[in-house]
Amino acid sequence: MISGIGIDLIELERVEKHIHNDAFINRVLTTAERETFDHLGDKRKVEFLAGHFSVKEAYAKAKGTGIGKSVSFQDLTVVNDSMGKPVLTDRTSDGCAIHVSITHTDHGAAAVAIIESLSC
């Protein structure tokens, strides 16, 4: 059963302003995500950071809490599976299936998150 749906959109220009701001980057990305981020070129870093920010916001909206006391950016990790599909895990939740999708345009990134199960 679907228990939550969230969507988020962010302009790449907003993220580009923070691309060399370690405090912002470390707030949004986990250590594992940061390792991937550090090996990217600047254009791809903007897309990566925007996509991860957006998908974590979308998930927090689907959860109904938003980013804050109940769930933080650091509670959420996004990795790509062998086919390139993003997979989000939430260390604060058990027993739910999380489905996410991230897309980019020349000017923005958007993400959608769907949570299955009433226990999340």
What integer pLDDT is reported at residue 119 of this predicted model?
55
19-62 pLDDT, tens digit per residue, is: 999 999 999 999 999 999 999 999 999 999 999 999 999 999 99
8 in a labelled binding site:
yes
Exactly one of 45, 52, 61, 63 is catalytic; which is it? 61
- The Cα 40–Cα 60 span in angstroms is 26
Whole-structure pTM value? 0.93
Catalytic, 104? Answer yes
Contact indicator for 117, 95 with CB cutoff of 8 Å = yes
57 in a labelled binding site:
yes
Tell which CATH architecture fits domain 2-116: Alpha-Beta Complex (3.90)
61-106 pLDDT, tens digit per residue, is: 999 989 998 899 999 999 999 999 999 999 988 778 999 999 999 9
Catalytic, 56? Answer no
